[in-house]
Amino acid sequence: MAIVKKEPLVEFLSEILKPGVYPAQIQKAVDGIALGKNAGSEQITLHIRVDNKATVWVDLVFCESMNWKVQQFIHAVNMCEVGEDAELTASTVKGLSLLVEIINKQAQDKLGNLLWEDDAKTKPLLRNEIKRFVPLPAKPAETENGNPY
């Protein structure tokens, strides 16, 4: 069987970042339906490449209890003006650039058990987590000829 060799999947090459604000880009987005406490709600799963060093997965769930997160995202990517409708789908968000604030959390398995780097459980296994989406700085106002004030 012949298999074409492809570039390595950058999305799975990750390092633990120091807490802070980083530039990021949405590399992949998938429309879906939420499971768990918001079961049945529409969602978009985002694969966000942070500082070209780590990939973090985030679910934007379209329900009342998660509206704050969706609003934070819309402001961070400057998708539309206040009062306008934002069209959020996997295809409209893929490739967008934004800033994210990263924190480190101890990793857990699917049952919620904490994961450790060592058998003695003295060194927690950390993972990157997006604490919040950070609005991009405002562009400086321009004069009529296009120069900044």
pTM of the complete model: 0.79
Q: Minimal CA–CA distance to 103: which of 131, 76, 123?
A: 131
Structure confidence at residue 8 (pLDDT): 56
Q: Are strands 20-33 and 42-50 parallel, antiparallel or unpaired?
A: antiparallel
Structure confidence at residue 11 (pLDDT): 47
- Averaged pLDDT in 10-residue chunks for the chain of 149 residues: 63 79 96 92 95 94 93 89 86 95 91 88 90 82 63
Three-class SS state of 90: helix
Structure confidence at residue 90 (pLDDT): 94
